[in-house]
Chains A and B, each alone.
Chain A
Amino acid sequence: MTAEMLKPKFTGARVSRLEDARLLRGQARYVDDIAVPGTLEVAFVRSNRAAARIVSIDPSAALRLPGVRAVWTFADCPITIKNRGFQVEQPVLAKDEVRFVGELVAAVFAEDRYTAEDAAELVQVKYEALPPVLDTRAALTDAPRRVHAERPNRFYHKVHETDGFQQAFANAPRKLSLTFRTNRQTGAALETRACLAMPDPASGRLTVYATHQSPHNLRAQLARLLDLPENQVRVVVPEVGGGFGIKAMFYPEYAILADAARKLGRPVKWVSDRTECLLADAHARDAVHELEVAFDETGRILALRDHVYGDAGAYPFLGYSGAVGEAGWATDMLTGPYKIPEVSIEIDCVFSNRAPTGPYRGVGGPIGAQVHEGAVDAVARALGMDPAEVRRVNFIGPQDFPYETPTGGVYDPGSYRESMERALALVDYERFRRQQAEWRKQGRYVGVGMCCFVEPSAFAESEAGSIPYEAASVRMEPNGTVTASFGLGPTGQGHETTMAQLIADQLGIDVRDVVVLHGDTDSAPFGGGTGGSRSGTIGGGAAIRAGQTLRAKLVKMAAHLLEASEEDIELVEGRAQVAGVPARGLTLRELARIAYTDIGRLPEGMTPGLEVLVRYQPPLAATYSNGIHLAVVEVDIRTGLVRVLDYIVVNDCGRLINPMIVEGQIHGGVAQGIGSALLEELRYDGDGQLVTTSLMDYLLPTSHDVPRIRVEHLETPSASEGGFKGMGEGSLIGAPGAIANAVSDALAPFGVFITELPIRPQDIVHWVQTGA
């Protein structure tokens, strides 16, 4: 028996991950690792025009290539994704017209991928150019044309204004305005998207392996598009190499693969290459916020006006547009951790001839945080106050919870000021300010930036699942080990460990005696998948409740067999025993054997077996994590390069299930945030061509770019089962704003204030040289 087994509780402990061994040994199976005999490989012909009419598609040369089995255009696969909510239809293969570079035009099926790619190059597509819609402002008035002839480009318009806004804004003693802009980025999971679809000729069922965050959602979408009953479709999500939101979406490739498997009668596989990922995985963060801030001489912010322009790209995703989702989240969270009473918000989202936008970790959260934290720092600069002091003036206090925001959210308790004070102590803020002044005299430009964020999590609705509950199926096998199954869609978050920790604690067994299954719609209970930082809180709540239900049955059995009262039975280290009299007990293994195979000994009326299915819905529509990111950066004013010298995160996500996993999530989000702030940009040229189509152009942070990150936890529990709050996105919500403010602070002597991300070295050099 190891020391770990003797620990009374796994919840809250730094338990090593149960999924690691197979990943470390190179034995994990991602989609492309699954080899099915007879598989055809797919390569796609994608549009190389942003906007054009398709004059003709000639596949004849491709079809003559040995090994090519089929070339499909829309006529062969006439499936159209009908997005009724957005009044837009998207043919899975372009029909008559292409609307972005990277849009699918034809699919080539061949005996191997090399042949498929050769053939794709031989497909002749003739285009007639159309003027591309690339300017968001012009697009609002349908200039130069409509992306979709049947509907205006502006497809979403929303206005929200609090009753007292006009008066508060008009009477405010001070005002300032800022335009924040974020440029396109993408999740860039290291495993590219992939799909393997195969028919089962015997049963007629269709099996689809896919890299996805929500297996049941994908099954429902495929069944609907292919007009199949859901029980005729099996979706299996094997190991997934990162998701970050991009893999929560439905993509046209999946419908084509599923249709091809049925029509061609063979397994078909497609694995995206990196260029395809950058062209057509969900893009994100394409937004402009025109912000006006009304405040007084004490630094109190009285009102915010925000006009948001979002670029949705050529199509919404099925049921979800990134532009709408981001603008909604950013403005819902516009007042962040501050008691700003009045807001006026206007949102306009347009279609354009760029790739569709969808979710990327944090969705609009990073933008919203950059906006409210930029506003606070701008107020501080305008008044000559310290940025920390302006935050103190405005924080929502402990006495204010539950706090209703002017945008309609209700915050449960958090640690807003406390987390900032802790971070300031960790960096020794007063000393830093003195040191900074010294460095400036020496020509070193070092700055500190803060981003205090509130992270909504575990929503009643999210882009991944749109269901407010999760299910846990927990079964104790006849030998006393446990198999649990969830409808979650982990992509590296370690659910096989965290869910096992929660269940093991309820049953008094070793965490390694719990196997957690997920990803196969044939065995998993219906679930919403993973997204919106919902799995730990909602899935974890389901795990606890299911464990409790199973525990109650074991206790009832043990009380009956040991002739004791149920209140006296405890489950400890794999045994059910009478409290205080450990000798009077039974192993769970023995209880499990009785429950399945010796059922005459069960209490009267008890059903055989040890298996429960429990659904859990948290009491609140969302629970709000919070925290602060504090970055210290040095800017080289000759090269424009920014180096992160120190990085502190104080994070409050309620009760922790596994601090080690939480810290891993935070580190990863900070790295992505550094990428968002300093490196990552999907750039289009004036013709609508994406010019960042490799990882040499789209720069991901490396081990040189990401510093050592100091993390501390505060724990303000939620009202959810276990007291957990979601935390998968907060780290990327906090980081870009912290870096932006740190660079502004470093370059304050030059009057520079950062409002656009990413921050490019050439811009820094330009600002410093021109004093702009």
Chain B
Amino acid sequence: MSEVQTKVRIRLRVNGAEHEVDVEPRWLLSDVLRHQLGLTGTHVGCEQGVCGACTVLVDGRPERSCLMFAVQAEGHEVTTVEGLTPAEGLSPLQAAFQAHHALQCGFCTPGMLVTAEALLRENPNPTEEQVREALSGNVCRCTGYQFIVDAVLAAAREGRS
């Protein structure tokens, strides 16, 4: 524990952009995204792999960035909430979240958006039960989930129309 931690240089591909960063091998992907790359949209709620606030896409699949070391993300495509956000305005899913009041404090919201985005890409026509199943690894302490489920279902309907 007390020896000096040496850094290694890694190449990360995040939201389509290449980054070269020097990291200690033990640094979490969540910390490197937030504090090295300044992508603070990814939130850290527990660092225990439970709350899902830190969810990002790794090669299109939702992963908890607090359970990955940044060095493990080398060679993979990482997408954060910033990568799902248009240059101006809101994505269809984000707009549905606003229309349905699917957020209050907003802390779980990026993780919810990332998880729901992955669901809709895989299953554009989910049932309510499938939405609840997909979101069951993301804790929200404010909304009771109902309006989040409504928003995801509405975004799916929008996507089909």
Contact = CB atoms under 8 A, between A and B. Distances in A.
Interface in B92-114: 94, 97-99, 101, 103-110, 113
B41 to A, nearest CB: 2
Interface string B20-38: 0000101100010011001
Contact of A668 (B43, B133, B143): B143
The 4 closest A-B pairs by CB, nearest first: A26-B41, A492-B105, A241-B107, A23-B106
A242 B44 contact: no
Contacts of A21: 90, 98
Contact of A664 (B38, B42, B53, B101): B101
Given A23-B103, A191-B105, A695-B51, 8 more contacts: A26-B40, A30-B43, A32-B40, A190-B141, A191-B43, A242-B141, A663-B147, A671-B144
Nearest to B114: A26
Best-surrounded residue of B2, B39, B41, B146 (most CB of chain A within 10 A): B146
B146 A708 contact: yes
Contact of A709 (B53, B98, B144): B144
Interface string B118-159: 000000000000011101111111111111110000000000
Nearest to B148: A703
Nearest to A34: B40
A118 B2 contact: yes
Which residue of B85, B94, B98, B101 has the most chain A CB atoms within 10 A of its CB atom? Answer: B101
Contacts of A17: 98, 101
B48 A703 contact: no
Interface string A23-35: 1111111101101
A159 B44 CA distance: 46
A273 B142 contact: no
A123 B145 CA distance: 43
9 contacts: A24-B85, A24-B94, A24-B98, A30-B107, A66-B4, A189-B107, A242-B105, A663-B101, A702-B136
B90 A244 contact: no
Of listed B105, B107, B136, residue having the most chain A CB within 10 A: B105
Interface string A494-507: 10000000000000
B99 A240 contact: no
Interface residues of B, number: 61
Interface string A646-665: 00000000000000110111
Contacts of B35: 35
Given A64-B2, A190-B108, A708-B146, A16 B98 contact: yes
B48 A668 contact: no
B65 interface: no
Contact of B51 (A190, A273, A491, A661): A190
B105 A704 contact: no
Interface string A690-702: 0000111000101
Contacts of A187: 141
Contact of A491 (B47, B105, B132): B105
The interface residues of chain B, by DSSP majority, are classed as loop
B48 A694 contact: yes
B142 A695 contact: no
Given A30-B107, A114-B5, A274 B145 contact: no
B55 interface: no
Given A16-B99, A21-B98, A61 B43 contact: no
A29 B107 CA distance: 10
A660 B146 CA distance: 12
Contacts of B24: 114
A98 interface: no
Contact of A702 (B105, B113, B139): B139
Nearest to A61: B2
Contact of B105 (A118, A188, A190, A192): A190
Contact of A492 (B5, B31, B106, B132): B106
Given A16-B99, A33-B40, A26 B82 contact: yes
B2 A32 contact: no
Contact of A25 (B1, B94, B105): B94
A241 B43 contact: yes
B160 to A, nearest CB: 22
B2 A664 contact: no
Nearest to A187: B141
B78 interface: no
A482 interface: no
A598 interface: no
B141 A493 contact: no
Contact of B142 (A64, A492, A702): A492
B32 to A, nearest CB: 11
B85 A25 contact: yes
Nearest to B24: A114
Contacts of A113: 31
Contacts of B41: 25-27
A380 to B, nearest CB: 29
A698 to B, nearest CB: 9
A97 interface: no
B104 to A, nearest CB: 4
Contacts of A29: 40
A20 interface: yes
A65 interface: yes
Contact of A703 (B81, B94, B132): B132
A695 B139 contact: yes
Contacts of A669: 144
A669 B146 CA distance: 12
Contacts of B51: 190, 274, 695, 700
A554 to B, nearest CB: 31
Contacts of A694: 46, 48, 50
Contact of A20 (B103, B132, B136): B103
B45 interface: yes
Given A190-B105, A274-B48, A660-B101, A670 B136 contact: no
A770 B2 CA distance: 56
A27 B43 CA distance: 11
Given A664-B104, A702-B136, A23 B109 contact: yes
A667 interface: yes
A58 interface: no
A242 B143 CA distance: 11
Contacts of B38: 35
A65 B43 CA distance: 29
B120 to A, nearest CB: 16
A695 B108 CA distance: 15
Interface in A389-427: none
A28 B105 CA distance: 10
